[in-house]
Structure 1
């Protein structure tokens, strides 16, 4: 940060600096005079330590989520005597748990140390994952799936808030995608891991039970690692030196979106979130896109096997889906970082690619194995829109409490979409599921519509603010800092402009 800038006097900002948290006051932050080299060193440490910590957790989350689909190839349904749509409901109940805990979790993350809360959640969900091996019927499976959803509800919203704390607005799309890379990696090698577990020679325990036990144990162990390493805020990052922590805070002051948890939940910000058009456009996009996600994630192993592959080979054939996600994620996240107005356009592009993939599955001849596999590979590209959506929240929603509410509502819609989606995958249509494929495609078309509406709304709102308040570039550095430290929302800060 340019040390020649004149900053607002600390005395004049008492009562407005609460977003700095309880462990570092404004004087400490403004007293640090950092050079560009020191800022780059702090950014390098964040990228080297914080992003891998979150990415590994997200890798385990999706690996654990994918395990139910993989377990169907190890006779899970037969062993638990499941019939009709019971598997669909076993898949959907996870999201009931996620849904039921999303709102309490958003409140707790503001009230408690966020890093510790996430770490405990990871440890407990690993334990619940191991409990899957004790299931002997559908009811038992429904119970553990529900509590697995409860355990995982804090992860993505929590990582979204942490990314907003530690990174500048223009840095966030690439970093959100970086920790979301764990999801893509799980898709890429998750089938390989399940294949390896499936080849273990044992007559003592079923392979699907072994899958849950191994993945659950690894997850719980990693929860302990996170408890020691994952920071609650820049002021508590143990991998940063004291002056580097102040620089980490100083870097993000111009975000105007809040940099630290203060332990105070502002209900006025929560109510404003419910009245904000961008909230509902993001929520509706999340719901409609996850109509596809709920079905394709849960039934992808069965669909792949239906293309004519053996059960174990079907696990390996899911790897190209992870590769496609990685390629498109690198393209869109890099473009969104280099071109500030490309975020929503990138999401529109990914959604259109996924729609083309679903059309291939739907319309190609059932004997066209290669073509339908290409379709299934492209159909999951929409998944990488999630980190970009999260970067929109961290960049365009100001106020820590408002941000947590919008994030929570987005994930509630995520859950509802994932609950509804599998219900279109009718057991009588296995393994092609034409109704489910068409429902998924319809959801993505609606998602495309809401993304276009969001893009138009942001452009209109920015032009309206420019006419009403003038260009934000006219503000002094002191005014910029005062906006950030006021803990106001994006609708209250006159100089705030939405990133597209």
Structure 2
């Protein structure tokens, strides 16, 4: 899963890297066309998110999205680029939801933050060495094909090949894991019964749960937070190579200078995921820390003198730390939302907000402001400030709700395995199970 997520982000990052190999000039992109080419990816992501995503889809879409990445090399104009970017987004859409579902099936609630972070670690590694890979491709001595085309061809071929590996080895559920025997599969299901989040749900959609999801405050704290934080994600992911080059580095060196961003993400990912695993009620506080660090980084980019290359580079390195909040946010959904239908609605709304934020974000990076993009930097910072506020609200809500339940029902007692199983097969929601307490 970690390798797949590494390839997913590497493929997504390729468009930004290709701008340093004259992609915009070769395709004659003008004005906001590059911004829309970045945003259209999430239209495809959005379109596919409306379908019922299972981990089984991840196995074959990984092969398909590699094929769409290969097709980037055939583009000769903006229209062609828009088309392949749309289908690339559709191909990659099942990765995060599929992996989130799988993590919720295999691991207990307290184990999930570290496991979510484990496969998301591939994202950080892609940021760390993605520039090195692109740099290596950029130094290939060839005049037969443009380097930006070569970048897409190599990455696409690797991804499609790995899709075959996923198809063979990655299970759809504990009951289908080829690396477990029949007894171990039963244990894998049994050990997650205390989650009370529906690992044994029948899959029958209940409209009453959908209505409850819409009325639940935690849904909107999570959804609006996803939109706000991804205002920054959409812009910074697509324009980070251009911004880095604007600090005074050559195009190839700008690729290498993105490595500290990956290192910063790895450091904070380890801190927050380990802390969330071993210190109770710390996962949301860890997300707040990451968000504050990114806000500070964006302020440095915005306010420091344009000639302060080192200071602004430090700012850009810190500015991307917020991205590691994604696996923790996903672990909150898998841990704190129970009921098949309710979880489906919350997950769908979360990923819709993710897509909308990533679509809107690049539009603040105005072509006339290249390469510093002050409007885009301010918009990204504003989104993260809103995100920080919503995370504090979510923490406060969970604390209040847990105390309210303790007053009404008393502290959760040790219940029998039979009672745990009954909670699972009843397909009740987190608001209907009296012993359910939210993890902070």
What TM-score does the superposition give when structure 2 sets the normalisation length? 0.98
Whether 1:465 aligns to 2:412 is no
The equivalences for 1:418-457 within 5 A come to 418-457=358-397
Deviations 1:398-455 (A, max 9, x none): 1233223212211111111111111111111100011111111000000001001100
Q: Which residue of 2 aligns with 1:93?
A: 40
Whole-Å separation in 1 of the counterparts to 2:62 and 2:131:
22
Q: Which ranges in structure 2 are unaligned for 5 or more consecutive residues?
A: none
Within 5 Å, which residues of 2 pair with 1:177-216? 177-216=117-156
Q: Measure the CA separation in 2 of the matches of 1:75 and 1:266.
A: 51
Tell me the CA shift for residue 476 of structure 1.
3.9
How far does the alpha carbon of each residue in 1:25-45 deviate from its partner, in whole angstroms, 9 at most, with x for none? xxxxxxxxxxxxxxxxxxxxx
How many residue pairs align between the two structures?
440
Match of 2:235 in 1: 295
Aligned equivalent of 1:322, options 244, 262, 283: 262
- CA contact 2:283–2:328 (8 Å) conserved in 1: yes
Is the aligned partner of 1:349 residue 2:299? no
Distance 1:489 1:261, change over 3 A: closer
Match of 1:386?
326
Say whether the 8 Å CA contact 2:209–2:342 is kept in structure 1. yes
Closer/same/farther in 2, CA of residues 317 and 261 from structure 1, 3 Å limit: farther
Q: What residue is the counterpart of 2:6 in the other structure?
A: 59
Q: Distance in 1 between matches of 2:417 and 2:182?
A: 24
Are residue 149 (structure 1) and residue 96 (structure 2) matched? no
Select the residue among 236, 239, 244 that pairs with 2:184. 244
The within-5 A match list for 1:101-116 is: 101-104=48-51, 107=52, 109=53, 114-116=54-56
- The answer to whether the 8 A contact 2:105-2:199 is kept is yes
Question: What is the alpha-carbon root mean square deviation over aligned residues?
Answer: 1.2
* Equivalent residue number for residue 342 of structure 2: 402
Provide the C-alpha distance between the structure 1 equivalents of 2:147 and 2:205, rounded to a whole number of angstroms: 46
Contact 2:230–2:357 (CA<8 Å) still a contact in 1? yes
Aligned to 1:81: 28
The answer to whether structure 1 residue 305 and structure 2 residue 245 are counterparts is: yes
Q: 1:449 to 1:360 in 2, by over 3 A?
A: same
**What's the TM-score, normalizing by structure 1?**
0.86
1:465-489 deviation digits (Å, cap 9, x = unpaired): 1112221125444323321232211
Matched, 1:68 2:15: yes
Q: 2:157 aligns with which of 217, 220, 231?
A: 217
Measure the CA separation in 2 of the matches of 1:237 and 1:403. Answer: 23
Distance 1:388 1:478 in 2: 30
Deviates more, 1:267-276 or 1:177-186: 267-276
Corresponding residue of 2:313: 373
Q: Over residues 277-305 of structure 1, what are the superposed CA-to-partner deviations in whole Å (9 max), with x where a residue is unaligned?
A: 11111001010001111110000000000
Shift of 1:116: 2.5
Distance 1:266 1:194 in 2: 48
